[in-house]
């Protein structure tokens, strides 16, 4: 006598399909995270380069400022404007009545 069992392997097929779907989902998630990490690294590298450029510009601006307020330059500017150095300055403070 022959016994027909058509649904015998249905549970194994469902398990295989479920595990395959989970595997595909995990692979796609890993690819997405990897691409985000690579993008973040590129953004970080470009931000570091930009920061270095800003530091150089800041140093140049500080150098120009310090050259402008150098004592020799201020003495020369005062002489050009006809200003004289006061030996005994009288200070007036805004907080005093």
Per-residue pLDDT of the chain (97 residues; tens, 9 = 90+): 666 666 666 788 899 999 999 999 999 999 999 999 999 999 999 999 999 999 999 999 999 999 988 888 888 888 889 888 888 888 777 776 5
**Rounded-to-integer distance, Cα 60 and Cα 66, Å:** 10
pLDDT of amino acid 74: 86
21 closest CA partner among 31, 13, 33: 13
DSSP assignment of 21-90, as one string?
Answer: HHHHHHHHHHHHHHHHHHHHHHHHHHHHHHHHHHHHHHHHHHHHHHHHT-HHHHHHHHHHHT----SS--
pTM of the entire predicted model:
0.56
pLDDT of amino acid 34: 98
């Amino acid at each position: 006598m022959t016994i027909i069992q058509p649904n015998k392997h249905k549970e194994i097929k469902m398990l295989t399909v479920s595990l395959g779907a989970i595997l595909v989902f995990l692979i796609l998630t890993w690819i997405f995270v990897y691409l985000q990490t690579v993008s973040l690294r590129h953004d970080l590298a470009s931000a570091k380069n930009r920061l270095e450029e800003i530091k150089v510009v800041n140093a140049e601006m500080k150098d120009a400022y310090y050259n402008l307020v150098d004592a020799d330059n201020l003495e020369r500017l005062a002489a050009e404007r006809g200003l004289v150095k006061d030996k005994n300055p009288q200070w007036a403070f805004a907080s005093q009545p």
